[in-house]
Structure 1
Amino acid sequence: MALLTLADAKAQLNLTSDAEDAELQVYVEAVTEVVEFFIGPVEPRQVTEQHDAGGGRPVLVLRTSPVLSVTSVGPVLTGGVTYPVDGLAVDPLTGQVRRRDGGWFCGLLEVVVQAGRASVSPTINLAARMLVQHLWRTQRAGRRGAIAGGGDDYSVSEPIPGLGYAVPYRVLELLQPYRLPPGVA
């Protein structure tokens, strides 16, 4: 499952030739990282995190969400406790992991999860298409027959920390319902 395919991007840009496929593929790959900056992993992937539960904690809060499943929770060092995944409850959006028996986690733990989304919503796909369109248009400004970037809802008047002016408001508005809760990332 991909957030955006080359065929999706070509359809959004009304491109029928293969002449610019290599360049456009770079845009397709870059857009995934930008979208995931706002909403967390989209394309499923395995993530390994270490958590120090010290002398005991009732909950582990993963740094990566959304979470599809927990694969394993075990000690980083030999001799620690391994927690069976069927005995864990996971909040997919916040990444909170609790023991179903009410017990606490202890020690330095390695948590392996499958992060991402089970499917890409049409809204997230549309946001990615529009972001490719925006970046493609601004890159081509000034070329014969090209439409200059910016203007209307493609405007970006204030930079986004870490991304500058790359993401137009219309894309941010589409991603808003999928944004991670504060403190999750």
Structure 2
Amino acid sequence: NVLMVEGIPGSPIVEHENSGGYRAFEEHPEINILGKVSGMWTANVTKNVVLQFLATNPSPIDAVWTTGSETRVIAEAFTEAGRDQPLITGSMSGDALGYWKENKDTFKYYGGAILPTVAAHNTFRAALRLLEGQEPLVNTILVPVPEIRGEDLGEWAAECMTVESGSIFPVAPVEPLSEESMNGYFRNGAATPLYDYATTPDPCAG
């Protein structure tokens, strides 16, 4: 039994995410979709709609499918409703890692990380390569989303991450798009000048 939690209904990103989710579910007919709620990509809205769903749906829930960064409040909603926490998917965030540190025995997670650092890095790298005269082969760079399993959370958590640190995002332990992979997007691809993933600023700095 799965509960779906989408972001803002009708937005292009949500439509793509829902399409991918439904396609995956169709490949596994044993999965039963109990319902779908809209969390609006907002923590308090997500928590309220999940609590409302739990109050009117007593059926056991084995997993919650979501693509946002609201995994912590979903877990909290189940606990507040007196329900066992299911496996929760989503994009990892600092507050969820803080929640995991305090609830390692109950928080079940599998997902990825849609990170602002990754977007910033790759925009910077592409711009520098263009200035260096490298010729792009396409107009879109596809960056793998880092996979995060429950047993990986210790590699992502930092000391400053608590349940109150929603605006702090982790840094992927391994670079999602290597320089070698980036080279493949350019006709004369070569290493990005002035770039070193190891120098990514510490999310806890400052």
TM-score range, shorter chain: under 0.3
Higher helix content, 1 or 2: 2
Higher strand content, 1 or 2: 1
Which gives a bigger RCO, structure 1 or 2 (Cα 8 Å, sep 6+)? 1
User: Considering only CA atoms, is the larger Rg found in Structure 1 or Structure 2?
Assistant: 1
What TM-score comes out, normalization by structure 2 length?
0.23
